[in-house]
Structure 1
Amino acid sequence: MSVVSSQTEAAASAQSYGQGLAIVGIGGLVLSFDIPLIRMSESAFWTVLAVRGLLTGLAVLLIWQVDRIRNPRGQKLIAGWTGLLIVAIFSMAATTFVFAVFNTSAANVVFILAFNPMFAAILSRWLIGESPPLATVLAIPATLFGVLLIIGAGFETGNWTGDLSALATAFLIALALTLSRRSRTDMRYTAALGGLLPALIALPFVAGEGLHSEAIIWLILNGGVLIPVAMICLAIGPMFVPAPVVSMAFLIETVLAPVWVWLIFGERPVDLAMAGGGVVIATLVVHSVAELRRVRGQRRRLAEQSGGV
């Protein structure tokens, strides 16, 4: 292979990596406004479930339909019985997430949701037989300690139901992603479709009570634009960058969402919850960096072996 050809491939790879970083960065940044927009709408629980879930589902259905027009043999909306199961799990996750937003602080929600990769590692071991890397094994007890600090603070402030609901959300998302990985099928639309079932359940309550929202435009922006854009960005990201980099994009939400809520509403978590959140964030940053180095090392060794051949 010529030097010019090698340089061209390296430049193309660097450009692709840069595009991937931009995509996942945008996804994480957009997602960080999810909870603030729900709070800004000042909406009732059933209104949030109905409007947010319905708009997100319809937006993704529209995107899927456009994709099918361009490529009739393209991605299925729901891939078999496994796809239906994953949609059902995401439906439960959408419900527990909104319940958590209504019953604990925004910081507690995102800090606890950050435990999701650790749940995924444990479930992957049980359901797929994948042995997690050493960095993940070491990160699990550290992040669990941080989550327990947050939940402990919730018992002091009376927010424990919301904290446990956030923990259930993290588990359900990890379970859905693990089942998706085991099926080895593209499930890019299932997460957004998971909002449709809770929305349909909420509709009778909304029909009876009416929409209760002081500023429903924020809820429409959230469900119709923000969530679909974030999900698409974070679904496309792994095509360009390693999974640890995508995981770090979720850290953008973990860090920024409490900041936006603090700036807009003056909501500050109690010290114990802040300490737990700090433990979770620090652990996940170290874990993501370690995983990124491991993936790069594997690629380097493969490249050297290929070059040797």
Structure 2
Amino acid sequence: MTTSPPASADHASHYATGMTLVGCGGLVLSVDIPLIRLSESGFYTVIVVRGVLSSLAAVLIWWLARRMGRATGPLIVGRLGLLVSGLYALATILFLVAVYETKAANVVFILALNPMFAAILSWTIAGEKPSRATLIAIPATLVGVLMIIGAGIEAGNWLGDLAALATAFLIALALTLARRSRQDMRYASAISAIVPAMIALPFVATGGGLESEAIGWLVVNGAIVMPLALICLAAAPMFVPSPMVSMGYLVETVLAPVWMWMIFAERPSPLSLVGGALIVATLAAHAVAELAARRRMKVAHRP
């Protein structure tokens, strides 16, 4: 006679699965901006190629999973799934605006606000009250973002910085809604890339076709990198709260500027660097505090 594992073990397994998805998603996502820059492609070309390949790859992965008996749900789950996909589609457009209008370090530093936005939205939408550490971290990260945007105004990059800020908010909102629904929306973010691609297609057609000096990098990005990263991050809310999922973007925040410096010698401005360091340090301290609190709760609930 076999016995089922205790609930605590099941919870720990779910949490480990979720954090693995978060870590893998963030690691893969960190090469997104470098690959876009390496391709030397036009704005609309990136939207079309990246969007079409990402959505096709997601459909293929979903179809193979169904054939193997590992997925039975639809690609888009009801009206809420459509809303979440729409949020991801808008976030995709704004993200690419940010990539083209400001420095890569500014983009990823601002995107690191995801956990703070997710914590606020989880509180207001899902009723998950933020911890004391989160409430302390929110104003510190906002100061960091204001420093980055201030540097962007001086350099004329404020439009890209604001687009990155809107992207962070939209992604956090999509993750929170997916978390609240308890539905499998792992394919929503990758599938939604087809929407901006269809919008940009006429501009590519009337502008002389695809504009790219090294389209192979863009194909790798759209067909492999983005689907893998987006599916991992979109699946994680089924296992862990959305603020923890947003921590995946902190991995990108740390690594993407390193890749940009190594490949393109692109360095952020001093004020942006200070603001970004403040955000990263605050979020790192926040993560340590949250993990410590979780451990104390586990110890307190042990029989």
**Matched letter for residue 187 of structure 1:** M
Match of 2:68 in 1: 70
CA RMSD between the two structures: 2.8
Does 1:56 find its partner at 2:73? no
SS at 2:301's partner residue? helix
Gap runs ≥5 in structure 1: 305-309
Runs of 4+ in 1 over 3 A off after TM superposition: 9-26, 232-249
Determine if contact 1:120/1:175 at 8 Å carries over to the other structure.
yes
Equivalent in 26, 31, 34 of residue 33 of structure 1: 31
TM superposition shift of 1:56: 0.6
78-87 or 233-242, which deviates more: 233-242
Distance 1:224 1:53, change over 3 A: same
TM superposition shift of 1:107: 0.3
Q: How many residues align?
A: 299
Residues 274-293 of structure 1, C-alpha deviations (whole Å, 9 max, x = no match) = 00000000000011111112
TM superposition shift of 1:181: 2.0
Name the CA distance, whole Å, in 2 between partners of 1:135 and 1:150: 23
Match of 2:190 in 1: 192
Query: What percentage of residue pairs aligned between the two structures are identical?
Result: 58
Determine if contact 2:175/2:237 at 8 Å carries over to the other structure.
no
- TM-score normalised by length of structure 2: 0.89
Residues 86-136 of structure 1, C-alpha deviations (whole Å, 9 max, x = no match) = 111111000000000000000000000001111112222222333111111
Equivalent in 127, 140, 143 of residue 145 of structure 1: 143
SS at 2:185's partner residue? coil
Gap runs ≥5 in structure 2: none
Equivalent in 112, 120, 131 of residue 110 of structure 2: 112
TM superposition shift of 1:238: 6.4
Determine if contact 2:54/2:226 at 8 Å carries over to the other structure.
yes
Name the CA distance, whole Å, in 1 between partners of 2:65 and 2:147: 45
Distance 1:299 1:231, change over 3 A: farther
Residues 173-221 of structure 1, C-alpha deviations (whole Å, 9 max, x = no match) = 1111122222222211111112110001111111122000000100000
Determine if contact 2:179/2:238 at 8 Å carries over to the other structure.
no
Determine if contact 1:244/1:288 at 8 Å carries over to the other structure.
no
Name the CA distance, whole Å, in 1 between partners of 2:158 and 2:146: 11
Structure possessing the higher radius of gyration over alpha carbons: 1
Name the CA distance, whole Å, in 1 between partners of 2:225 and 2:270: 31
Distance 1:139 1:224, change over 3 A: same
**Matched letter for residue 285 of structure 2:** V
Match of 2:233 in 1: 234
TM superposition shift of 1:47: 0.4
- TM-score normalised by length of structure 1: 0.88
**Matched letter for residue 265 of structure 2:** G
Matches within 5 A, 1:1-309: 24-71=22-69, 74-209=72-207, 210-235=209-234, 246-304=245-303
